[in-house]
Structure 1
Amino acid sequence: MVVISVMIEHPIEGLILFETGCGKDYPEAWGAPLNDIFARVDYTEDQELDMAIAKCGKNIKDVKMVIMGHLHLDYAGGLENFLGTDVPIYVHETELKHAFYSVATKSDLGAYLPHYMKFDLNWQAFSGDFLEIAQGINVHLAKGHTPGLCIMQVNLQDSGTCIFTTDMYHVYENFDSSHPQGWLARDHDDWVRSNQMIHMLQKRTGAKMVFGHCADTLAKYKTAPEHYT
C-alpha cells in the first residue's frame, strides 16, 4: 500500500499540496505498536515529501497552501514541515474539531496524534459541503471514514478532471464495488451517502480517480517528476 500526496502548481495561488504523508520522523512519533502494524517497506529517502517536491525542481519552502482531506496520522504527519510558518492549512472545521477532540480525550488515539495537532500551524477551517478553494480546485465533504473528510476535485486544462479521494476509498475495490473498508468507514450511513455523491461526480466529469492507498491505481498514472497539465 502507498501513501499519496499531491502537488499542484497553480497559476494564481502558487504551489499547493494536498495532504502531506507520514512525516520524516514517523517511526518515533507513532511508536509501538503502530510501527509494527504499519511497517515501512521498500522505503527510499526520495519518497519523503521534501525530496519528492525537489524532483519537480521545487522546494518545500515554496509551498503556499496545504489542503488536508483528513487529519489521520498517515496523511498529516508531514505537517511538521509547516510548524511555525504562515502557510495556511485548509481543513474542514468538522475534521479539525474532531481531530483535536480525539487527541485531547484520547478517544481515537492512534488515528490522530498530538505530534502534529499543534496550535502553531496556520489552521484555516472551512465549512459546508463544497468549497472552490482556488480556480479549478474544488473540495467536497465526504463523511464516512472520518466526520470531516473531504475529497479534492482538480479540473485540468489538457488532462481533464482528477478526483483525489484520500481515505474515503483506500483501494479501487472500495470504489468499484461501492464497498466500505469495514470498521475503517466509521459511519456506514454517511459513507454510503458520500459514495453516491462521488460516483455521480465521477460520472458527470469523467474524472480520473486516485484512491488513498491504492498502489495498483497509482501505477497507472504519472508520478513526480512527471506531471499532468
Structure 2
Amino acid sequence: MISVLISHPEEGLILFETGAGKDYPEVWGPQLVDLFAREGYTEDMELDAQIKLTGNDIKDVKAVIIGHLHLDHAGGLEQFRGTDIPIYTHELELKHAFYSVASKTDLGLYLPSYLQFDLNWKPFVGASLGFARGIFLHHCPGHTPGLCIAQINLQNSGTWVITSDQYIVQENYDSLATQGWLTRDHHSWSQSNQMIHFLQKTTDAKLIFGHDREVLMRYKLAPEFYD
C-alpha cells in the first residue's frame, strides 16, 4: 500500500493517498484482512512514521489527493478528520463512495470509518486537472468510476505517474488486459489504459503501480527522494 509525499515549492507538502490507516486488521475484520495479508509489519511502516523519516510531520501536510477511495488507499484519512486539510478526489469517486456505504451496495471496499462529514472534502471534475505547477491529475475510470492517476513532473528525475489501482501490478499494464472482477467497467478501463500508454510514451514516465512491491523497491524510499 503506497503513499507519495510531494514537497512542492509553492503548495507545501502534498500527500497522494494514505494507505489503509492504523490498526486496519481490526477495523476491516478477518474476511477483508485475508485479502490483504500483512507480513513483516513494523510500526515504522505507518503513514505518520514514514513522513517523519523525511524530516516532516503528518501535521505539516497541506493537502491530500486520493486517487480512489477504496479502504486500502484512503483508510488513513482518519488522521485528517476534524482538520481543515483539504481532501481532493474526483467528484464521481466521492459520490460513488458515499452512495456505496449509504446503500450498502459496495460496503467492504468502502468503509464509513473514513467517509465522514468532518473531512474537508474538495471534489474536482473533468478529465484532467492542473493541480499545481508540475502536478496533473487525470481521470481514469474503470476500477472505480472516479479513479484518478497523478502525473508529477520533476526537474531532474523527469515524469512520474502514480497509477493508484488503474494497474494493481506491472502485468496489468504490460498485458493490456483488465483485472477481472477488480475492474468494474471494462470499457472505461480500456480507454483509460490507452490514455496512460500514450502519456507514458510522450513523457517517458516512470510508473508506480497500486500494489506492486517489486516495482516500488526499484526506486528510492523515504527518507531518500527524487527531485
Same fold (TM over 0.5): yes
State the match for 1:193 in structure 2: 191
Given residue 177 of structure 2, which amino acid in structure 1 is its aligned partner? H
State the match for 1:81 in structure 2: 79
Secondary structure, aligned partner of 1:33: helix
1:50 aligns with 2:16: no
1:149 aligns with 2:147: yes
Per-residue deviation, 1:40? 1.2
Secondary structure, aligned partner of 2:200: helix
Secondary structure, aligned partner of 2:34: helix
Mapping of residues 13-92 of structure 1, within 5 Å: 13-92=11-90
Where does structure 2 lack aligned partners over 5 or more consecutive residues? none
Q: Deviations over 1:73-128 (max 9, x none)?
A: 00101001100000000000000000000000110111100010000000000000
Question: Using the alignment, how far apart are the partners of 2:10 and 2:92 within structure 1?
Answer: 28
Percent sequence identity is 65
Question: Using the alignment, how far apart are the partners of 1:212 and 1:115 within structure 2?
Answer: 22
State the match for 1:226 in structure 2: 224
Question: Using the alignment, how far apart are the partners of 1:111 and 1:37 within structure 2?
Answer: 11
Would you identify which runs of 4 or more consecutive aligned residues in structure 1 move more than 6 Å?
A: none
1:120 aligns with 2:123: no
State the match for 1:138 in structure 2: 136
Aligned Cα root-mean-square deviation (Å): 0.6
Given residue 21 of structure 1, which amino acid in structure 2 is its aligned partner? G
Question: Using the alignment, how far apart are the partners of 1:205 and 1:222 within structure 2?
Answer: 20
Given residue 177 of structure 1, which amino acid in structure 2 is its aligned partner? S
State the match for 2:179 in structure 1: 181
Per-residue deviation, 1:36? 2.3
Q: Deviations over 1:4-28 (max 9, x none)?
A: 0000000000000000000002122
Given residue 170 of structure 2, which amino acid in structure 1 is its aligned partner? Y
Per-residue deviation, 1:37? 2.6
Q: Deviations over 1:195-223 (max 9, x none)?
A: 00000000000000000000110011111
1:210 aligns with 2:208: yes
Per-residue deviation, 1:53? 0.2
The number of residues matched between the two structures is: 227
